[in-house]
Amino acid sequence: MTLRIVHVVCSDGFAGVERHIAVLAPELARLGCEVVVIGGDGPRMRATLDPAGVAWFPASSRGEAARWLARLGRLSLVHAHMTEAELVAVATRTVHRAPVVATRHFAAGRGSSAAARWVGRRIEGRLAGQLAISDYVARESGGATWTVHPGVPVQESRVPAAERDRTVLVVQRLEPEKSTRTAVDAWARSGLAEQGWRLRLAGEGSERASIEKDVADRGLGDTVELLGARDDVAELMRGGGILLAPTPREGLGLAVLEAMAAGLPVVASASGGHDETVGAVTPDNLFAPGDAETAGRLLRERASDLARRERDGDLLQRHQQAAFTVRRQAQETLRAYQQVLA
């Protein structure tokens, strides 16, 4: 019997959670499921969902998501992402009559207040199961039944280290929790500007203006580019020299997975999901969260060692192809569904 699966997120954006769904849903469809997605930015979601025959409906609010769940009729399973979608999915279960599973994307429990935590406990008690995007998230969020690592598309080739640009890339939102200032500090300490390298920051956020001021105050303006939000991250990574990932509590790190797929060496904070990606094969490229001095030293050492960058890129790409593919993610997710339905 064909499983009829609905993924729901109460959002009209396209950040990490929405991208997670946009990658996973088409692969589940290729495995034989009938898949519907509710929520996320319409044009960007449909660009990946339409070719796989996955239907999409908008849901920028809980009410809109609830209305679509009520209209879809009988379902095999509802897969909710983030607390608002979880709340809608369990509240409408008398209508859709399907078990609800949730994916935990962040390394924290539900709710920042006593009332919100009470609601979170009520939600968790009505879930048929919970997936986590990493062992780290499973430990920190509590209650996860399975760890299912996200995957990214495989790239069969990579640009040799000798042909890559002399650039250090940072790909993330410019928000306080991402610790972009650590990246700028590490860049300043690395001394790579004097060797012809450049730092490129791809992403937008509330800290952009303050980061620009910090760069100017340090006299780094000629060597640092703030690229803003980009749709060509894959190309940036294909030609970049090193990815710097400073986030201290990263659930897993989609940008790191994309860098691994491209064979791009990664220097990352030794925390969160980075231990399960970069740390699994190139642990010497990790630095303590916030330790800009060590991060700068690692950047300097890797930049000066072409053979090491070539080796690291090869090891990371092989690890991605073995452990972090979209097909593997979909297969493990489907196994979780089958256990719930059994």
Task: Indicate which CATH number applies to the domain containing 20.
Answer: 3.40.50.2000
Q: Is residue 317 part of a domain?
A: yes
In a domain, 116, yes or no: yes
Contact of 261 with 254, CB cutoff 8 Å: no
Q: Are residues 229 and 172 in the same domain?
A: yes
Instruction: Specify if 311 maps to a domain.
Output: yes
**Together in a domain, 135 and 233:** no
How many structural domains comprise the chain? Answer: 2
116 and 201 in a single domain? The answer is no
Q: Hey, what amino acid is at 25? A: A
**Phi then psi for 10, rounded to 5 degrees?**
-85, 85
In a domain, 262, yes or no: yes
Note whether 318 and 332 are same-domain residues.
no
Contacts with 128 (C-beta within 8 Å, 6 or more apart), sequence order: 77, 99, 100, 101, 340
Q: Which stretch of 43-47, 51-55, 125-129, 286-290 has the lowest confidence by average pLDDT?
A: 125-129
For 295, residues 6+ apart whose C-beta sits below 8 A from its C-beta are 182, 183, 185, 186, 189, 190, 244, 246, 267, 269, 287
**In a shared domain, residues 39 and 56:** yes
User: Rounded to 5 degrees, what angle do the CA atoms 233, 44, 258 make?
Assistant: 30
- Retrieve residue 226's tokens: 């703030």
Q: pLDDT by residue (tens digit) across 81-102?
A: 999 999 999 999 999 999 999 9
Q: Read off φ and ψ for residue 236, nearest 5 degrees.
A: -60, -40
Q: Is residue 156 part of a domain?
A: no
Q: State whether 15 and 145 are in the same domain.
A: yes
**Judgement on whether residues 81 and 215 belong to the same structural domain of the protein:** no
Shared domain for 39 and 138, answered yes or no, is: yes
Mean pLDDT of the chain: 95
Instruction: Please check whether residues 106 and 118 belong to one and the same domain.
Output: yes
Residue with tokens 């053979």: 307
Give 201-235 pLDDT, tens digit per residue: 999 999 999 999 999 999 998 999 999 999 899 99
Specify whether 166 is located in the same domain as 276.
yes
332 and 256 inside one domain: no
Beta bridge partners of 290: none
pLDDT interval class at 112 (50, 70, 90)? low
**Three-class secondary structure of residue 228 per DSSP:** strand
Please indicate, yes or no, if residue 140 is contained in any of the structural domains: yes
* pLDDT at 120 exceeding the cut of 80: no
Q: Per the confidence metrics, is the pTM higher than 0.85?
A: yes
Q: Is the pLDDT assigned to residue 257 strictly greater than 70?
A: yes
Which structural domain, as residue segments, surrounds residue 257? 161-323
Gap between the Cα atoms of 321 and 319, Å rounded: 5
